[in-house]
Amino acid sequence: MTDPISDFLTRLRNASKARLEVCKAPHSNLKAGIAAILKAEGYISGYNDGVDEQGHKQLLITMKYVDGTPAISGLTRASTPGRRLYFSYTDIPRVLNGLGISIISTSKGLMKDADCRRNKAGGELICNVW
């Protein structure tokens, strides 16, 4: 697998569309950081660590639904291994005129777009969520 973050986002998107209760993904600190931001913004109900049958760490994400519709209506990968997208804090694009969020990897850790503008930190645009 060449892009584990894209695989993680695709798992979330597919679980949301299939209305699954729990989504499983291989664990990494970056994926856990993305899940923490999604939980803080109300796109997922929760997440925790688990172990599969072979002893590998997994990230278990509890999906959130509002009256039967998924809380995540859109999820796109912005920066790819073949085309990295970096923005200064003044140039970070808004998602749906502020209705969605961007997740950005900065030197201060993973942040959503509003926090990057507030802390004057730019970085690599990981994904957009709405």
User: Which domains, ranges and CATH numbers included, belong to the chain?
Assistant: 4-70 (3.30.1370.30), 75-129 (3.30.1490.10)
3-state SS class at 116: helix
Contacts of 50 (CB under 8 A, 6+ apart): 24, 57, 58, 59, 60
pLDDT at 104: 98
The type of residue at 122 is G
Lookup: tokens for 69: 């519709």
CA distances from 113 to 12, 33, 58 (A): 20, 14, 27
pLDDT at 28: 97
Contact 113, 92 (CB under 8 A): yes
pLDDT at 126: 98
Print burial letters for 87-110: b (CB count within 10 Å at least 16), e (below 16): bebeebeebeeeebbbbbbeeeeb
Q: What is the pLDDT along the chain (130 residues), one digit of tens a residue?
A: 899 999 999 999 999 999 999 999 999 999 999 999 999 999 999 999 999 999 999 999 999 999 999 999 999 999 999 999 999 999 999 999 999 999 999 999 999 999 999 999 999 999 999 9
CA 5/CA 98 separation, integer angstroms: 23
Contact 17, 53 (CB under 8 A): no
pLDDT at 1: 80
With residue 29 as reference, give the H or E element that holds it: helix 29-40
CA 6/CA 9 separation, integer angstroms: 5
pLDDT at 67: 95
